[in-house]
Amino acid sequence: MSHPLFSPFTLRRQTLDNRIVIAPMCMYSATDGKVGDWHTMHLGTLAQSGAGLLIIEATAVAPEGRITPYCPGLWDDACADAWAPVLAAVRHYSTMPLAIQLAHAGRKASCEAPWRGGRQLPPEAGGWPTLAPSALAFNDGDTPPTALDTAGLARLRTAFADAARRADALGIDIIEIHAAHGYLLHEFLSPLSNLRQDNYGGSLENRLRFPLEVFDAVRAVWPAEKALGLRVSADDWVAGGWDIEQTLALARALKARGADFLHVSSGGLSAAQSIPVAPGYQLPFARRVKAETGLTTIAVGLITEPHQADAVIADGDADLVALARGILWNPRWPWHAAAALGATVDAPPQLWRGAPHAASGVFGR
């Protein structure tokens, strides 16, 4: 019996045991960009899930690029030093490959944690000035960001590259650059947030320029044997905004530069978005990217059931399936998916006795 969801998949030198990816999920639990015990517990739990790949949450390449004051960073060696024991603890008990999402929040930075309302923080409450392609605020009442000048663009290209070097030194296996959900690189892509009149705004070619420069800067320092890709929003869900046709143009440009995958999400750029949320609602975007460009795709978005995820792979809609909220709710989702599909999954022997009699062969021992 074939189980496409539990078949291996290779990204450059890294072969994943199965097609299940744990998507990056913000924890808002770092201190001054430095991770600690929460991340050891959180990532340690996910690393025992049996998934094929674990992507660490959005990690800022510059202090002002944090979504909140509590987001992790990789902008200096102190941040990297904080990551080292966390990753060492995770690796001590798991062989699951680890990726990291490198990010800059742009105009959506300097916000409170979601469970405290998520609104932009003023300086007196611990906030900071934000940066973006154009001086357009995300929400009414937010302080408009400062439009990046030539020096600012150069600094951020270097910041992404330097963070990639630190990720390599930490032994990270794969990098995903965050260009989705209304954060900085997505802001450059979308004509709704990018009103520049220079070589970085206006035409599609110009709006692609800075995200592609960032990709090139990271690829230049990231080891050739390690995979590199992007998370993108395939559609702003707003008339006149970024859409799937422009996403396809980006995907082709990335493939020509040696990108290994596109993680296909949508939305997040505008409060005016209208999203027809339903199970698998983003799958058509991933399907088109895969079919029309040949680039490896990761599908995400209300893919919650094992047979549903297996069908995504079997039908060729995407190469990999990512779970986010669903795996927070059920950190053993891959175990249960393997049991439902009659497949096997890797798990530490200390936990084997947890399998019910009906799933006694799920751990492949």
Domain boundaries, the chain: 7-324
Q: What angle do CA 112, 116, 117 make, to 5 degrees?
A: 80
Report the distance separating Cα 266 and Cα 299, nearest Å.
11
Per annotation, catalytic residue among 28, 70, 93, 183: 183
In this prediction, residue 364 carries a pLDDT of 72
Report the distance separating Cα 50 and Cα 73, nearest Å.
27
Neighbours of 76 (CB within 10 A): 15
In this prediction, residue 354 carries a pLDDT of 87
Neighbours of 65 (CB within 10 A): 30
Q: Is 183 a catalytic residue?
A: yes
Q: What's the whole-model pTM score?
A: 0.97
pLDDT tens digits, the chain, 365 residues: what are they? 479 999 999 999 999 999 999 999 999 999 999 999 999 999 999 999 999 999 999 999 999 999 999 999 999 999 999 999 999 999 999 999 999 999 999 999 999 999 999 999 998 999 999 999 999 999 988 999 999 999 999 999 999 999 999 999 999 999 999 999 999 999 999 999 999 999 999 999 999 999 999 999 999 999 999 999 999 999 999 999 999 999 999 999 999 999 999 999 999 999 999 999 899 899 999 999 999 999 999 999 999 999 999 999 999 999 999 999 999 999 999 999 999 999 999 999 999 988 888 887 899 75
Superfamily of domain 7-324: Aldolase class I (3.20.20.70)
